A = this chain, B = another copy of it.
Amino acid sequence: MFNEAAYLEEVEALLSAHVPQKEALQARLFEAERYSLLAGGKRVRPLLCGAFCALCGDEAGHALWFAAAVEMIHTYSLIHDDLPCMDDDDLRRGRPSNHKVYGEALALLAGDGLLTKAFETIACPQARETCGNEAVARAVSCLAELAGDHGMVGGQVIDLSTENNEAAGLDVLQAMDEGKTAALIEAACVLGCLAAHAGEEQIHAARVYAHGVGLAFQIRDDILDVIGDQAALGKKTGVDAHNGRRTYVSLLGVEKAQQLVEEYTEQAVRALAVFPGDSSYLADFARRLAQRMH
C-alpha cells in the first residue's frame, strides 16, 4: 500500500535539495524559487506520480525525481500566471504572490529557472541510475509535450482568448481545462508508470484516469471560486466572475457543475480496473479531490 505521509516527506526533501540555499550572486533567485516551490501546496501531482509508480509494482521513491519535476512545472506556471500581464493576482497559497515579494523581473526569471530545473531534475544522474536512460528520455518527451503548446501552455493561451469572450461554449472550456489542468496531471500519472517501466496498457489507463481527475479538478476549482472560503483557499475568490471569464459554473450553475465533477471522477476510478494491484488509494484520492474545500 502507498504510504502517503512517508512519500510526501521525501518529496519535500528532494524539492528543497534541488533549490539550494546558498551564498552566491544568484542567491536572491534561489530564494524566490524556494518561496513558491516550498509554500506547502497540496502536492497533488507528486502524489499521483508516486502512487502510480507504486501501483505499477515499483517503489514510489523511484518516481521521486519525476514527481519533483512535475511539481516544479506546476509551480513555475503559478508564478507566471500571477504576473500583472497575466491574471495579476496578489495572493497565492495564503501569501503575497511571488512578484509582490521579489518584483516582476525576478519572478519571471524564477519561473524560467524552475521550468528549466524540472528537466534538470528529471534527467539528473540519480534519476538516470534509478530509472534508466530510456525511462528518463521518454519522461522528458512526455512531460515537455504535456506542459507545452499542446498542453498546459496551450491551455493558458485558450484561457487568455476566452476572457470576455461570450461565444466560448463547453467545447472550448473543455479544451482549455484539458490544457491548463488535465495535461500536467496526466504527465504526473504517466511519469509514475514510466518510472516503474509499466506497459502500454497501464500507461493508457493512467491517461484515462488523469483525464477524468484533471477535468474534475478544474471544474471543482471553478466551483470553489464561487462557493469557497478565501482564507481556506489561500487565494482570492470570485476572480472568474470579476474577470468575466466563462467557466462550467457560469454556464451550468454550481449543482450541474458538481454533477459533472462526480461523473468525471467515476470515469477516472473505473480506469483503475486494469491494474492488478490495490488501487484503492488512487480511487479514494480522486473522490477526495471531488469534494475538497481548498
Contact = CB atoms under 8 A, between A and B. Distances in A.
Nearest to A143: B119
Main secondary structure of the interface of A (DSSP, over half): helix
A62 to B, nearest CB: 16
Contacts of A19: 149
Interface stretch (A78-86, A213-221, A257-265): A78-86
Say which size band chain A's interface belongs to.
35 or more
B133 A120 contact: no
Contacts of A24: 154
A47 interface: no
B153 A113 contact: yes
Interface in A102-147: 103-106, 108-109, 111-113, 115-120, 122-125, 128, 133-134, 136-138, 140-141, 143-145, 147
B119 A105 contact: no
Contacts of A197: none
A29 interface: yes
A25 B154 contact: yes
Contact of A148 (B120, B137, B140, B149): B120
How many monomers of this protein are in the complex? 2
Contacts of A113: 148-149, 153-154
13 contacts: A25-B158, A25-B161, A26-B150, A28-B157, A29-B157, A80-B109, A108-B108, A109-B153, A109-B156, A115-B115, A115-B116, A119-B144, A137-B137
Nearest to A19: B149
A140 B116 contact: no
A274 interface: no
A154 B110 CA distance: 10
Given A113-B149, A120-B145, A137-B140, 5 more contacts: A19-B149, A25-B175, A76-B112, A85-B108, A109-B156
A111 B111 CA distance: 11
Nearest to A118: B144
A30 B128 CA distance: 32
Nearest to A116: B148
A216 to B, nearest CB: 22
B148 A117 contact: yes
A160 interface: yes
A145 to B, nearest CB: 6
Closest 5 CB pairs between A and B?
A120-B144, A85-B104, A116-B148, A123-B140, A133-B133
A128 B30 CA distance: 32
A113 B36 CA distance: 21
A172 B25 CA distance: 8
Contacts of A175: 25
Nearest to A32: B157
Interface string A4-31: 0000000000000001000011101110
A33 interface: yes
